[in-house]
């Protein structure tokens, strides 16, 4: 009863995240478009800048909370896991195969998800395609499994009701009669825990995960309530002290690259190179915008810089152009990102030079970074080197 809605929300928010990457734009696709479905939904640009923080926070938090439920579910069917396939019947074989895929893919989803949150990719496994195709495999087999088991589920609800089994304390707890299903033990020992006791244990584990995790998605002061959050809990008190996913050092950004000789190349109908002084001399705007990382954390800060739309006008960008932001960082998935026309022409979208009244720190993208409302965190390119307004 809990797993079906949880998995549904996790799947929907997962697909929303995939589409919020704007995979239809050049350079953004993380999945070969030939093996992908079309984008079915994207947030309207008029929604608040924390819309992606809500769906992605739900994806990560609910995903982690569901782990104890999945483990309990696997525990409850443990005899099945050790039953070896026999070649006696074809549908028996198919059922075994579907269970193998079901259990295998659910474990792959949780492992790759948890490793990704920790920014850890063992054996150089590329998280995105594994997690994405894993979701398709799991989703398909899960629906199949639910259909096959539907008669059993219906019979169980009819005979026992939804919540009635939870009323029994330990003394009234009876094992299932062996003839009721192939999972029931033939010679059970006395129960050591009631069904509601088991639910309390599993639910308690889920709620504990919520308590130590949700703060990182909500952000602000709540982050301090999330001791298990990756990237730490406290960042001191200065204007630049909020979480950093990848430091300047890890991206191999050196002070020489960002010193007085740094220029941002802005290209549209014309191409210009602007120094930080030139940018600071242009009209400055301050916006309160949320960075919401795909890994589940988010943070809202006050950013100051030049509106992207002003830069577009300066170089005569064509209407409907997409904006490709290229970083000084040359390797890796964060070295560039493409923004749709409605994203960069949003008047809140900035090439930020300052945050919370101070210059950007090297780790937050000095000399300049992109910051747009509602995009996944990784599209807010740091250490910007080029802004190219290109025909879509
Ligand atoms: N060039 C570059 N830009 C980048 C990244 C990066 O590694 N390199 N990380 C991205 C990711 S994954 C996120 S969530 C945000 C985080 O911004 P912050 O480190 O300032 O909090 O920056 C994005 N911009
Ligand atoms: Mo991120």
Q: Are residues 57 and 181 in the same domain?
A: yes
Domain boundary among 167, 193, 222: 222
229 in any annotated domain = no
Domain boundary among 165, 192, 222: 222
Does ligand 1 have an atom closer than 6 angstroms to the CB of 49? no
Does ligand 1 have an atom closer than 6 angstroms to the CB of 56? no
245 in any annotated domain = no
Band of pLDDT at residue 86, cut at 50, 70 and 90: low
The answer on pLDDT for 141 being more than 80 is yes
Q: Which of 110-124, 161-175, 311-325 has the highest mean pLDDT?
A: 311-325
The answer on pLDDT for 180 being more than 80 is no
237 in any annotated domain = no
User: What would the pLDDT profile of 145-172 be if each residue is shown by its tens digit?
Assistant: 999 889 988 998 998 898 998 999 999 9
Mutate which of 377, 379, 386, 387 for ligand 1? The one with the most ligand atoms within 8 Å of its CB, which is 377
Ligand 2 centroid distance, CA of 362 (Å): 17
Q: For residue 367, is the peptide bond before it cis, meaning its omega torsion is within 30 degrees of 0?
A: yes
Query: What is the atom index within ligand 1 of the atom nearest the CA of 247?
Result: 19
Q: Are residues 75 and 216 in the same domain?
A: yes
Mutate which of 231, 245, 325 for ligand 1? The one with the most ligand atoms within 8 Å of its CB, which is 245
Ligand 2 centroid distance, CA of 261 (Å): 28
Band of pLDDT at residue 228, cut at 50, 70 and 90: confident
Does ligand 1 have an atom closer than 6 angstroms to the CB of 65? no
Beta sheet of 322-327, edge-to-edge order: 271-274, 264-267, 384-390, 322-327, 336-339
Domain boundary among 157, 192, 222: 222
Q: Are residues 17 and 163 in the same domain?
A: yes
Query: What is the atom index within ligand 1 of the atom nearest the CA of 335?
Result: 1
Q: Are residues 296 and 210 in the same domain?
A: no
Q: Are residues 51 and 124 in the same domain?
A: yes
What local confidence, expressed as pLDDT, does residue 31 receive? Answer: 94
246 in any annotated domain = no
| Mean predicted confidence (pLDDT) in 207-223 | 92
Ligand 1 centroid distance, CA of 59 (Å): 20
Q: Are residues 108 and 34 in the same domain?
A: yes
Ligand 2 centroid distance, CA of 104 (Å): 27
Does ligand 1 have an atom closer than 6 angstroms to the CB of 377? yes
Band of pLDDT at residue 118, cut at 50, 70 and 90: confident
Q: Are residues 179 and 109 in the same domain?
A: yes
* Residue 244: closest CA among 286, 297, 303: 297
Band of pLDDT at residue 121, cut at 50, 70 and 90: confident
| Mean predicted confidence (pLDDT) in 251-258 | 96
228 in any annotated domain = no
What local confidence, expressed as pLDDT, does residue 38 receive? Answer: 95
The answer on pLDDT for 182 being more than 80 is no
What local confidence, expressed as pLDDT, does residue 122 receive? Answer: 85
**The two three-digit tokens of residue 239, written as one number:** 């204007």
* Residue 13: closest CA among 63, 67, 66, 59: 59
The residue contributing the CA closest to ligand 1 atom 5 is 334
What local confidence, expressed as pLDDT, does residue 139 receive? Answer: 96
Query: What is the atom index within ligand 1 of the atom nearest the CA of 382?
Result: 3
| Mean predicted confidence (pLDDT) in 311-337 | 94
Band of pLDDT at residue 97, cut at 50, 70 and 90: confident
What local confidence, expressed as pLDDT, does residue 285 receive? Answer: 98
Q: Are residues 85 and 163 in the same domain?
A: yes
Q: How many CA atoms lie within 13 A of 274 on its CB side?
A: 23
User: What would the pLDDT profile of 257-316 be if each residue is shown by its tens digit?
Assistant: 999 999 999 999 999 999 999 999 999 999 999 999 999 999 999 999 999 999 999 999
List 302's β-bridge partners, or say none.
288
Q: Are residues 167 and 289 in the same domain?
A: no
What local confidence, expressed as pLDDT, does residue 331 receive? Answer: 82
User: In whole angstroms, what is the distance from residue 171 CA to residue 149 CA?
Assistant: 30
Query: What is the atom index within ligand 1 of the atom nearest the CA of 246?
Result: 7
What local confidence, expressed as pLDDT, does residue 95 receive? Answer: 79
What local confidence, expressed as pLDDT, does residue 85 receive? Answer: 62
The answer on pLDDT for 181 being more than 90 is no
Q: Are residues 384 and 283 in the same domain?
A: yes
Band of pLDDT at residue 231, cut at 50, 70 and 90: confident
Ligand 2 centroid distance, CA of 251 (Å): 14
What local confidence, expressed as pLDDT, does residue 236 receive? Answer: 64
Q: Which structural domain range is residue 329 located in?
A: 264-390
Q: Are residues 292 and 196 in the same domain?
A: no
| Mean predicted confidence (pLDDT) in 83-93 | 72
Q: 290: domain CATH number?
A: 3.90.420.10
Band of pLDDT at residue 374, cut at 50, 70 and 90: very high
Ligand 2 centroid distance, CA of 155 (Å): 46
168 in any annotated domain = yes
What local confidence, expressed as pLDDT, does residue 184 receive? Answer: 76
Helix (H) or strand (E) holding 132: helix 127-160
Count the domains in the chain: 2
Eight-class DSSP state of 268: S
Mutate which of 49, 217, 362, 380 for ligand 1? The one with the most ligand atoms within 8 Å of its CB, which is 380
Does ligand 1 have an atom closer than 6 angstroms to the CB of 245? yes
339 in any annotated domain = yes
342 in any annotated domain = yes
Q: Are residues 174 and 271 in the same domain?
A: no
DSSP string of 196-262, one letter each residue:
HHHHHHHHHHHHHHHHHHHHHHH-GGGGGG-TT-TT-S---SSTT-S--SS-TTTTT--HHHHSTT-
């Amino acid at each position: 009863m809990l797993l079906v809605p949880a998995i549904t929300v996790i799947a929907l928010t997962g697909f929303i995240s995939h589409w919020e990457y704007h995979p239809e734009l050049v350079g953004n696709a993380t999945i070969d478009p030939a093996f992908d479905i079309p984008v079915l939904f994207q947030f309207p640009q008029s929604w608040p800048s924390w819309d992606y923080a809500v769906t992605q926070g739900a994806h990560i938090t609910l995903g982690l909370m569901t782990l104890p439920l999945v483990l309990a579910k696997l525990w409850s069917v443990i005899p099945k896991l050790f039953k070896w396939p026999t070649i006696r019947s074809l549908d028996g074989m198919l059922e075994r195969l579907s269970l193998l895929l079901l259990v295998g893919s659910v474990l792959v989803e949780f492992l790759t998800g948890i490793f990704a949150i920790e920014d850890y990719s063992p054996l150089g496994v590329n998280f995105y395609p594994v997690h994405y195709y894993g979701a398709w495999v799991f989703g398909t087999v899960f629906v199949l499994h639910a259909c096959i088991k539907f008669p059993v589920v219906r019979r169980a609800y009819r005979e026992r009701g939804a919540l009635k089994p939870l009323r029994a304390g330990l003394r009234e707890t009876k094992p299932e009669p062996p003839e009721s299903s192939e999972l029931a033990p033939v010679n059970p020992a006395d129960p050591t825990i009631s069904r509601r006791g088991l639910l309390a244990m599993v639910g308690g584990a889920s709620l504990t995960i919520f308590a130590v995790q949700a703060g990182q998605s909500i952000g602000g002061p709540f982050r301090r309530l999330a001791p298990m959050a990756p990237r730490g809990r406290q960042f001191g008190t200065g204007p630049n002290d909020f979480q950093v996913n990848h430091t300047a050092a890890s991206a191999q950004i050196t002070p020489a690259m960002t010193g007085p000789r740094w220029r941002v190349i802005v290209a549209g109908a014309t191409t210009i190179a602007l120094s930080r002084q030139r940018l600071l001399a242009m009209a400055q705007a301050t916006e309160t915008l949320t960075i919401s990382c795909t890994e589940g954390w988010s943070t809202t800060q006050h950013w100051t810089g030049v509106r992207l739309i002003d830069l577009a006008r300066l170089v005569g960008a064509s209407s409907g152009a997409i904006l490709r932001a290229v970083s000084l960082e040359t390797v890796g998935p964060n070295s560039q990102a493409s923004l749709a026309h409605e994203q960069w022409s949003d008047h809140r979208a900035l090439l930020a030079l300052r945050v919370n009244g101070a210059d950007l720190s090297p780790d937050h993208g000095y000399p300049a970074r992109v910051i747009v409302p509602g995009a996944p965190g990784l599209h807010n390119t740091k250490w910007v080197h080029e802004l190219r307004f290109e025909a879509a």
